[in-house]
């Protein structure tokens, strides 16, 4: 099938840019600025206006080896240890080497960092760090970073299509994902309901952030539905290490609002119901106590609750009153507001109730250290990507540098800058092995081969001769059909019910502590939700700002991601980093120094593995017992 060009009609437009960035948080903004620096015509397409992005909620800081006595090598060592030896050393070392100059770049862009008496940017201790290298702006570092970067975007006049929800990628349909090309995206204009194509002459960068809405207790925003990960997955790019979900130890029980690790970094203490400082008294972390890495503290808290020493059988206390009002206001003022507004507790007068909550996905779209996926012209950076920097567990303060370091690299690469050849392979280009998992239900798409709605990804049967623009146009037409189908249906089930079922099941079954029977229950629940989704309908028939439709499209992404997390968790028969298994209480290096990958293979997940790379530039990171 051949389309007549051009695709612009009185009703429709096909947009065209060299580089298209999907998402406008820290990684997306940095990628766009970098592509612009390289002379590319770049545009951002985002379902939120940039300043609404969830990067703004990051509190703690940016790890960067800036000071005498510190070094990128120490930062890399801490990162590899924190990852429980599942990070790839070339990615972790890239992060640690580039972070200092990228952090100072933010300072040169005017970011309002907290300051020491000598006028230099302040740094503080954070969990799992051997040096106080977390560079911060009060307890609102992400807000300052996001706004600083958006200012630079405005300065450069970079085009933003805001409140455009990207629904699928226009990727060619060669048999092997490694042979495919990404030519653009399809997006839905939330304001008008128009579905339009965006052709990317050079490349598409996914920077869609987190996926916390897979769970019902999360620090993530309502918008964090893992759209980019799911979209790339359905287009053939594998998801990597999805079972590794970080549960942050200090979230407010009633809302999931985050209380920064900076509270413990500054000296805050955790107590159980008996007023015991359990991190030490029960031996969870005899050296670092409250500042052990996040997975360790989260498990300790839940163990306290499970053994009857929790408060109201639900949470523990985080006390910072002894730090004194002056220091708290100077360094953690935002925490006073959050605790008062969202939990009704003034932390200057009383300890804050806290419990673990979903916070961060270590896994994501498989990329190399230059941000490229196995599909030509498709890049990913930030939380939606997996390079992998964080492996089995991310250190606090390592997410923000990831955004600026890998956002920039992806932006440069997509704009055509020469990059050093990547040491990390993507797709089935290097060594790999197929895996197996014993699932109690069928996996993947329900109703395969039937008129499945809301399929994303690959434009089918495009043939070898079609141009990139044709491919984008075909994807646009598929999407219009999908959306029309959803809007035409008069009855069935609504997305809120399906989403709620999945979120509850994930929190119940695929949480901090995981066991086989519960993981299988989750797979059953997800299967049932997938079947219900076959009959999803959108009650709001309006084309104007239809959030009912938007959420229905997002819920499809939640289904694919929930399945991937659970499947990975069931397959990994060991305890590593944030992934704890009741039946397997040890890290099993002889078998599991490998990344979990899932590829979308004709509507079914295919499980495979590739080895982790522990060889760094000058040394190999030998796995050691991880104690804090």
Least separation in angstroms between residue 530's CB and another protein is 11
Task: Locate all alpha helices (DSSP H) within 109-175, ordered by sequence.
Answer: 141-156
Residue of 76, 223, 387, 415 interacting with another protein (CB under 8 A): 223
* 270 binds another protein, rule: CB under 8 A: no
Query: What 3-state class would DSSP assign to 92?
Result: helix
Least separation in angstroms between residue 261's CB and another protein is 16
Nearer CB in complex with another protein: 470/554: 554
* 349 binds another protein, rule: CB under 8 A: no
Nearer CB in complex with another protein: 140/240: 140
- Bridge partners of residue 615, in order along the sequence: 620
* 345 binds another protein, rule: CB under 8 A: no
Residue of 46, 94, 114, 566 interacting with another protein (CB under 8 A): 114
Distance between CA atoms of 294 and 300, rounded to whole angstroms? 10
Q: Which of 417, 413, 443 is nearest to 563 (CA)?
A: 443
Residue of 4, 438, 461, 586 interacting with another protein (CB under 8 A): 438
Nearer CB in complex with another protein: 327/541: 541
The answer to whether 606 and 237 are in contact (CB under 8 A) is no
Cis peptide bond prior to 458, omega within 30° of 0: no
* 573 binds another protein, rule: CB under 8 A: no
The answer to whether 384 and 3 are in contact (CB under 8 A) is no
DSSP tag of 88? -
What's the per-residue H, E or C state across 489-530? CCCCECHHHHHHHHHHHHHHHCCCEECHHHHHHHHHHHHHHH
* 348 binds another protein, rule: CB under 8 A: no
* 346 binds another protein, rule: CB under 8 A: no
- Bridge partners of residue 316, in order along the sequence: 354
Question: Parallel, antiparallel, or unpaired: how do β-strands 594-601 and 604-611 relate?
Answer: antiparallel
Query: What 3-state class would DSSP assign to 562?
Result: helix
Which residues 600-619 are close enough to bind another protein by CB under 8 A?
601, 604-608
Q: Which stretch binds another protein (CB under 8 A): 7-15, 54-62, 75-83, 421-429?
A: 54-62
Please spell the DSSP secondary structure of 248-274, one letter per residue: EEEE-TTT--B--THHHHTT-EEE-TT
Catalytic: which of 124, 294, 331, 626? 294
Residues with Cβ < 8 Å from 346, sequence gap 6 or more? 336, 339, 340
CB atoms near residue 29 (< 10 Å) = 33
What's the per-residue H, E or C state across 116-147? CCCCCECEECCCCCCCCCEECCCCCHHHHHHH
Which residues 371-400 are close enough to bind another protein by CB under 8 A?
none
Residues with Cβ < 8 Å from 43, sequence gap 6 or more? 15, 17, 19, 20, 21, 32, 158, 159, 160, 161, 198
Q: Which stretch binds another protein (CB under 8 A): 195-203, 379-387, 432-440, 617-625?
A: 432-440
* 1 binds another protein, rule: CB under 8 A: no
Least separation in angstroms between residue 33's CB and another protein is 12
Nearer CB in complex with another protein: 331/413: 331
Q: Tell me whether residue 294 is one of the annotated catalytic residues.
A: yes
* 16 binds another protein, rule: CB under 8 A: no
* 191 binds another protein, rule: CB under 8 A: yes
Which residues 277-316 are close enough to bind another protein by CB under 8 A?
none
Cis peptide bond prior to 344, omega within 30° of 0: no
Residue of 115, 327, 582, 619 interacting with another protein (CB under 8 A): 115
DSSP tag of 56? G
Nearer CB in complex with another protein: 481/500: 500
Q: Which of 153, 268, 157, 248 is nearest to 207 (CA)?
A: 153
Q: Which of 28, 52, 26, 62 is nearest to 148 (CA)?
A: 26
Q: Which stretch binds another protein (CB under 8 A): 252-260, 454-462, 478-486, 574-582?
A: 252-260
Residue of 34, 40, 57, 414 interacting with another protein (CB under 8 A): 57
Least separation in angstroms between residue 433's CB and another protein is 10
Q: Which of 118, 110, 111, 102 is nearest to 137 (CA)?
A: 111
Nearer CB in complex with another protein: 379/609: 609
Least separation in angstroms between residue 322's CB and another protein is 23
* 265 binds another protein, rule: CB under 8 A: no
Question: Parallel, antiparallel, or unpaired: how do β-strands 385-386 and 378-380 relate?
Answer: unpaired
* 155 binds another protein, rule: CB under 8 A: yes
Query: What 3-state class would DSSP assign to 579?
Result: strand
* 547 binds another protein, rule: CB under 8 A: yes
Residue of 297, 338, 459, 462 interacting with another protein (CB under 8 A): 338
- Bridge partners of residue 514, in order along the sequence: 581
Nearer CB in complex with another protein: 57/332: 57
C-alpha dist (Å) from residue 101 to 71, 143, 374, 413: 13, 20, 28, 18
Nearer CB in complex with another protein: 88/140: 140
Please spell the DSSP secondary structure of 160-194, one letter per residue: EEETEEEEEEEE---SSGGG-BEEEEEEEETTT--
Nearer CB in complex with another protein: 11/108: 108
Least separation in angstroms between residue 430's CB and another protein is 18
Q: Which stretch binds another protein (CB under 8 A): 1-9, 362-370, 476-484, 546-554?
A: 546-554
Residue of 31, 139, 519, 538 interacting with another protein (CB under 8 A): 538
* 515 binds another protein, rule: CB under 8 A: no
Nearer CB in complex with another protein: 323/462: 323
Query: What 3-state class would DSSP assign to 139?
Result: coil
Burial class (CB in 10 A: 0-12, 13-18, 19+), 275: exposed
Q: In whole angstroms, what separates CA 532 from the centre of its chain?
A: 26
* 450 binds another protein, rule: CB under 8 A: yes
Least separation in angstroms between residue 363's CB and another protein is 18
Q: How many residues line the site for another protein (CB under 8 A)? A: 94
* 496 binds another protein, rule: CB under 8 A: yes
Distance between CA atoms of 237 and 168, rounded to whole angstroms? 13
Distance between CA atoms of 396 and 79, rounded to whole angstroms? 10
* 132 binds another protein, rule: CB under 8 A: no
Q: Which stretch binds another protein (CB under 8 A): 141-149, 320-328, 389-397, 463-471?
A: 141-149
Nearer CB in complex with another protein: 375/538: 538
* 532 binds another protein, rule: CB under 8 A: yes
Residue of 105, 277, 417, 504 interacting with another protein (CB under 8 A): 105
Q: How many residues does the chain have?
A: 628
**Active site residue ranges:** 294
């Amino acid at each position: 099938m051949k389309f007549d060009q051009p695709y612009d009609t009185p009703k429709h437009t096909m947009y065209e840019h060299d580089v298209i960035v999907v998402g406008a948080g820290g990684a997306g903004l940095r990628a766009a600025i970098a592509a612009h620096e390289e002379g590319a015509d770049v545009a951002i397409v985002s379902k939120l206006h940039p300043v609404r992005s969830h990067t703004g909620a990051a509190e703690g800081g940016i790890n960067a080896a800036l000071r005498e006595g510190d070094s990128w090598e120490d930062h890399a060592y801490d990162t590899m240890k924190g990852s429980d030896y599942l990070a790839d050393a070339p990615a972790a070392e890239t992060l640690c080497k580039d972070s200092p100059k990228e952090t100072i770049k933010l300072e040169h862009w005017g970011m309002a960092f907290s300051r020491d008496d000598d006028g230099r940017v302040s740094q503080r201790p954070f969990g799992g760090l051997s040096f106080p290298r977390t560079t911060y702006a009060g307890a609102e570092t992400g807000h300052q970073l996001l706004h600083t970067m958006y200012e630079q975007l405005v300065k450069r006049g970079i085009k933003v299509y805001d409140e455009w929800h990207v629904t699928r990628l226009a990727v060619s349909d060669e048999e092997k994902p490694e042979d495919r090309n990404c030519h653009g995206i399809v997006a839905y204009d939330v304001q008008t309901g128009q579905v339009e194509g965006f052709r990317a002459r050079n490349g598409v960068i996914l920077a869609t952030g987190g996926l916390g809405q897979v769970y019902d207790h999360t620090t993530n925003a309502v918008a964090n539905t893992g759209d980019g990960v799911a979209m790339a997955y359905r287009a053939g790019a594998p998801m990597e290490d999805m079972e590794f979900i970080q549960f942050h130890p200090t979230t407010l029980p009633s809302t999931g609002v985050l209380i920064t690790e900076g509270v413990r970094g500054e000296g805050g203490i955790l107590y159980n119901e008996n007023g015991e400082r359990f991190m030490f008294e029960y031996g969870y972390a005899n050296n670092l106590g409250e500042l052990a890495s996040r997975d360790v503290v989260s498990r300790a808290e839940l163990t306290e609750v499970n053994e009857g020493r929790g408060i109201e059988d639900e949470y523990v206390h985080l006390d910072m009153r002894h730090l004194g009002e002056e220091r708290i206001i100077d360094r953690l003022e935002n925490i006073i507001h959050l605790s008062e507004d969202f939990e009704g507790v003034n932390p200057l007068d009383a300890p804050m109730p806290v419990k673990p909550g979903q916070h961060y996905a270590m896994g994501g779209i498989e990329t190399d250290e230059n941000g490229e996926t196995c599909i030509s012209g498709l890049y990913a950076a930030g939380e939606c990507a997996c390079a992998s920097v964080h492996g089995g567990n991310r250190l606090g303060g390592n997410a923000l540098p990831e955004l600026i370091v890998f956002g920039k690299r992806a932006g440069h690469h997509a704009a055509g800058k020469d990059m050093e050849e990547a040491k990390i392979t993507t797709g089935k280009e290097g060594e790999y092995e197929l895996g197996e998992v014993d699932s109690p239900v069928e996996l993947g798409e329900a109703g395969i081969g039937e008129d499945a709605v809301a399929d994303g990804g690959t434009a089918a049967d495009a043939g070898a001769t079609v141009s990139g623009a044709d491919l984008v146009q075909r994807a646009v037409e598929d999407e219009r059909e999908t959306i029309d189908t959803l809007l035409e249906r008069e009855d069935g089930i609504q997305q809120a019910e399906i989403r709620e079922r999945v979120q509850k099941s994930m929190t119940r079954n695929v949480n901090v502590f995981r066991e086989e029977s519960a993981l299988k229950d989750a797979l059953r629940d997800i299967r049932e939700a997938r079947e219900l989704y076959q009959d999803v309908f959108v009650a709001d028939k309006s084309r104007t700002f239809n959030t009912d439709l938007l959420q229905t499209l997002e819920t499809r992404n939640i289904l694919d991601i929930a399945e991937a997390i659970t499947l990975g968790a069931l397959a990994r028969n060991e305890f590593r980093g944030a992934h704890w298994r009741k039946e397997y209480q040890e890290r099993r290096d002889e078998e599991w120094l490998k990344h979990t990958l899932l590829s979308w293979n004709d509507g079914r997940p295919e499980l495979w593995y590739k080895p982790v790379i522990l060889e760094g530039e000058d040394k190999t990171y030998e796995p050691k017992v991880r104690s804090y």
